[in-house]
A = this chain, B = another copy of it.
Amino acid sequence: MKNISDTRRAMMARSMALAAAGALSAGAASARAAPVKAATPFRVAFQVSDADQKKWSLTLNNVKNAQDDLGAANVTIEIVCYGPGVAMLKAESEVANRVQEAMQAGIGVYACQNTMRGMHLQAEDMIDKIGFVPAGVVELIKRQTEGWAYIRS
């Protein structure tokens, strides 16, 4: 098993290589730095994978609390539904109104297309204007790899 000190060593090697690259062009570096698209200080993806209406409500409370406490401008939020959790996003879902409110508040809401295929669900069966991702779990892996926090409802 790879241990932590190996990882630290690898990170340090990488940082020093970057530092050296920077040093070689230090004078011009601030001018040359590529424009960086601003990310909010906080980014978080919520996993909803249970057919449990109480968890759906809790998640919708959570995202509101996160916007209220951190400031809506400071946090980017996604709710990613897959497996039995996709039911949260069906048009007839008991929380459909609250999902729409969340989207109006700027929260991204995504259904897993792998799951939809398995459940014979079409886009028109779902809450209007939600987003779709090919695989919910892959979305969550990508987001964490990009540095997002993760909450499993």
- Does residue A144 face the partner (Cβ distance < 8 Å to B)? yes
- Contacts of A130 on B, CB cut-off 8 Å? none
Identify which of B12, B22, B35, B65 contacts A137 (C-beta below 8 A).
B65
Q: Mark A21-62, 1 if CB is under 8 A from B, else 0.
A: 111111001100111110101101001010000100010011
Q: Which among A3-11, A90-98, A119-127 touches the partner chain?
A: A3-11
Chain B residues with Cβ below 8 Å from A105 are: none
Contact A66–B146 (Cβ < 8 Å): no
A15 to B15, CA, bound (A): 8
A19 at the interface (CB under 8 A from B): yes
A73 at the interface (CB under 8 A from B): no
Chain A binding surface, main DSSP class: helix
Residues of A in contact with B, size category: 35 or more
Note all chain B residues with C-beta closer than 8 A to A114: 61, 65
Complex CA–CA separation, A130 to B141 (angstroms): 24
Question: What are 13 A-B pairs with beta-carbon distances under 8 A?
Answer: A2-B146, A7-B146, A9-B34, A12-B34, A13-B34, A14-B33, A20-B30, A22-B23, A23-B29, A42-B142, A42-B145, A61-B114, A65-B138
User: A residues touching B (Cβ–Cβ < 8 Å)?
Assistant: 1-4, 6-7, 9-10, 12-26, 29-30, 33-37, 39, 41-42, 44, 47, 49, 54, 58, 61-62, 65-66, 68-70, 75, 83-84, 114, 134-135, 137-138, 140-142, 144-147, 149-153
